[in-house]
Structure 1
Amino acid sequence: MSAPESSSSLSRFDVIVIGAGPVGLSAVFQCGMLRLRCAVVDALDAPGGQLTALYPEKPIYDIPGFPAIAAGDLVGRLLDQAAPFNPVYHFSHLVTGLERDEGTTPGLWRVRTAKGLVLEAPVVILAAGAGAFGPNRPPLADLEAYEGHSVFYSVARRETLRGKRVVIAGGGDSAVDWALSLADVAARVMVVHRRPRFRAAPETTARLEALAAQGALDLVIPYQLQALEGEGGILRSVIVADLDGARRQLDADVLLAFFGLATDLGPMAEWGLGIERHAIPVSQETCRTCRPALYAIGDVATYPGKRKLILTGFAEASAAAHNAHADCHPGEGLHFEHSTTTGVPSLG
């Protein structure tokens, strides 16, 4: 899986896609099928969004045609699918400015990044997920000294934890899923949660409790993280405490803290898009925002009945691309044809 940043000097495109997660990459393909050339801008240093940054080896089960596919593998396939259309990728570029020039036909959006990059296109598609994101960090003394060495907020490769004593803190899907995944890899898995009940899917919670009953892992409940013990970033033990303050020491090599993500729409919140509950309202039929030729798809978009699923985002990418064609080519009709008829067009 790779999509190196292009060194192309091109600055004018048909569509600028902001966000290189799975939905943004799908938009590149959908636009390419309509012969619309795309540039892709993302604040992260690699494609894939949360799939790559947080859980590349985690299996996804609701992608049509794949009974199960690793998140990183899905990103790789989406990159391969978009590759024939030669999109220009700009990674590690935070978009800071968005301006509309109606003095041309069609009108042009001008996108600026913190590094001084300027791109122009008649259409912009926002596929920025929930915006910039980072982990919610537990309030532990000297936490920074252990981060990246013994304390992690995601797992890139579960093999790196083979034979380790792993404490997993959290009660949601990520905590439960990784406990199940690591149970047969780690020397020991200990799950710390402040409540007896987990917030994960009932099926996976039942599997977790079954493994605990078999002695395959430990449920440390109801407890909360209290302190870290170690030296030089190397963890020796995790101290937890119950609601009465009684402390317990867990011998550990690694702490995985899964307390969700802190998200921030950043500059998008200042673009006059009528943000509602951390999302951008769009027309369900077109995915168009309240501003001309500006679309929002994926988790950043909202409308009545919205489901935040990757496959929903894929459908939104198709809707946005087909409506974007009219913005790029005013007055030009678009005759819809299936890919089995058109094949994969060349953009030259």
Structure 2
Amino acid sequence: MAAEVQEGDVAIVGAGPVGLFAVFELGMLGIKAQLVDALDVVGGQCAALYPEKPIFDIPGLPEVMAADLVEQLKRQAEPFSPVYHLDQRVETLERQADGRWLLETSKGTRLLVRAVIIAGGVGAFGPNRPPIEGLEAFEASGAVRYMVTRREDFRDKRVVIAGGGDSALDWTLSLAELAAKVYVIHRRDKFRGAPESVARLKALAEDGRVVELVTPYQLGGLEGEDGGLDAVIARKLDGEERRLEADFLLPFFGLSMNLGPIAHWGLGLDQHHIKVAPATCATDAPGVYAIGDIATYEGKLKLILCGFSEAAMAAHAVRAFLHPDEELHWEYSTTRGVPGAA
């Protein structure tokens, strides 16, 4: 028996930072929102992959931890009473005869709404796992991790970080403050991260007390029993090996990303992204919008602050779509305040 249909104004697919801010922007326009996310918590990648990673490009916040940013965005949305449907993903999106959209999730939740905002980030994602024999046992024990959710776990530990991008560099710089030793394995002598991060990394390596660069090497294997890690084997292309005594391995080889069911919703796509109009974030389907990393248009910048701007533009476009004959008397939040807030 099909689940009862829940009717509403807008459904937001994705409860990451940009989706959460869309709740606020819609709420300021008098529009209620429901959010669906495949994770069992709100916050998207900020919550699932790097809650303790500092973010530096939020206006007015010189530095904020990802988890703290999520908490503030959630608080900002609270006055508008959003409904969360977590730990389930939207499987189908179908337009009805009356122009509304019916969404059905992996848990059978059915939402009938007048507009949809897709804020799915990178879509379905997971870490790119290194091809190492016996990896699963070390993953199960927590000796191999693809994210840092609590820095304190690594205090006074020997950590091997593999990778040459921003995530590898950022966590090397962060964990160097508390780990006993941090080895960085990379297949080249050059790193792909931000120039300032590369300079700080090399300065720490030259100091030699905590950080050691292991280049040009690749991951070759793991040593240990019953999931307990004793050492990481680094190997050159010519077969030369180094044995690095370690308690943890953190491979940062990026995310494996795909749109999942979104790819089959009939929306205009461009290389696994949803094409939108830059002024409104509207897709080629009436009443469906896309914001954040999943959206693309000419000149697109994949920055969180741009995602926030897109949330505001999409919210105003949604209001015009829902109420085409009503003129909007717009007031700034400084004069209007937040409706319903104490």
TM-score, normalization by structure 1? 0.95
Match for 2:81 among 78, 86, 89? 86
Alignment partner of 1:36 is 2:4:
no
Indicate yes or no: 2:200 matched with 1:175. no
Cα separation, 1, equivalents of 2:5 and 2:148: 36
Query: How far apart are the structure 1 equivalents of 2:6 and 2:123?
Result: 24
In angstroms, what is the RMSD of aligned CA positions? 1.2
| Contiguous gaps of at least 5 residues in structure 1 | 1-8
Q: State how far apart, in whole Å, the 1-side matches of 2:290 and 2:155 are.
A: 41
Does the Cα contact within 8 Å between 2:5 and 2:110 map onto a contact in 1? no
Aligned to 2:259: 265
In structure 2, the partner of 1:133 is: 125
Q: SS where residue 168 of structure 1 aligns?
A: strand
Q: Which residue of 1 aligns with 2:323?
A: 329
Would you say how many aligned residue pairs link Structure 1 and Structure 2?
A: 336
| Identity between Structure 1 and Structure 2 (%) | 58
Is 1:122–1:327's contact at 8 Å kept on the other side of the alignment? no
**For the residues of structure 2 that align with 1:292 and 1:81, how far apart are their CA atoms?**
28
Q: After the TM superposition, list the runs of 4 or more consecutive aligned residues in structure 1 that deviate by more than 3 angstroms.
A: none
Q: CA deviation at 1:187?
A: 1.0
Q: Retained in 1: the 8 A contact 2:124–2:258?
A: yes
Aligned to 2:336: 342
Q: Aligned with 2:270: secondary structure? A: coil
Letter in 1 for 2:94: E
Q: Give the aligned residue type for 1:38.
A: A
2:206 counterpart residue number: 213
Deviations 1:206-241 (A, max 9, x none): 100000000131100000001111111110101111
Equivalence map 1:69-84=2 (5 Å): 69-84=64-79
Q: SS at the partner of 1:147?
A: helix
Equivalent in the alignment of 2:296: 302
Deviation track 1:126-181 (CA, whole Å, cap 9, x = no partner) reads 00001010000000001011114200000001111111100000000000110010
Write the letter of the residue equivalent to 2:240: A
Distance in 1 (CA, whole Å) between partners of 2:15 and 2:253 is 24
Q: 1:10 to 1:271 in 2, by over 3 A?
A: closer
- Secondary structure of 1:152's match? coil
Letter in 2 for 1:217: V
Q: For residue 239 of structure 1, give the secondary structure of its aligned residue in structure 2.
A: strand
Q: Is the aligned partner of 1:102 residue 2:102?
A: no
Asked if 1:61 corresponds to 2:56, the answer is yes
* Alpha-carbon offset, residue 265 of structure 1: 0.2
Number of the residue aligned with 2:46: 51
Question: What's the counterpart of residue 5 of structure 1?
Answer: none
CA contact (8 A) 1:123 1:293 kept: yes
- Give the superposition deviation at 1:120: 1.2
d(CA) in 2 for partners of 1:85, 1:10: 21
Residues 262-289 of structure 1 show CA distances to partners (whole Å, capped at 9, x for unaligned) of 0010011011112111100100000000
Counterpart residue type for residue 181 of structure 1: S
Structure 2 CA distance for aligned equivalents of residues 260 and 296 of structure 1: 23
Distance 2:265 2:7 in 1: 21
**What SS does the corresponding residue of 1:151 show, helix, strand or coil?**
coil
Task: Give the SS at the match of 1:66.
Answer: coil
- Residue type matched to 2:268 in 1? G
Counterpart-to-counterpart distance in 1, 2:68 and 2:280: 29
Render the CA deviation track for 1:51-100: whole Å, top value 9, x for unaligned.
11111111111100101101110000000000000000011011100011
1:10 shift after superposition: 8.2
In structure 1, how many angstroms separate the alpha carbons of the residues matched to 2:5 and 2:30? 17
SS in 1 for 2:34: strand
Contact 1:35 1:346 in 2 (8 A): no
Tell me if the contact between 2:5 and 2:109 (Cα under 8 Å) persists in the aligned partners.
Answer: no
Give TM-score scaled by structure 2 length. 0.96
Question: Partner of 1:3 in structure 2?
Answer: none
Tell me whether 1:21 sits opposite 2:16 in the alignment. Answer: yes
The structural deviation recorded for 1:341 is: 2.1
Structure 1 residues 102 and 343 mapped into 2: Cα distance closer, same or farther (>3 Å)?
farther
SS in 2 for 1:240: strand
The question of 1:197 aligning with 2:196 is answered: no
| Structure 2 unmatched runs, 5+ | none
1:101 CA displacement: 1.4
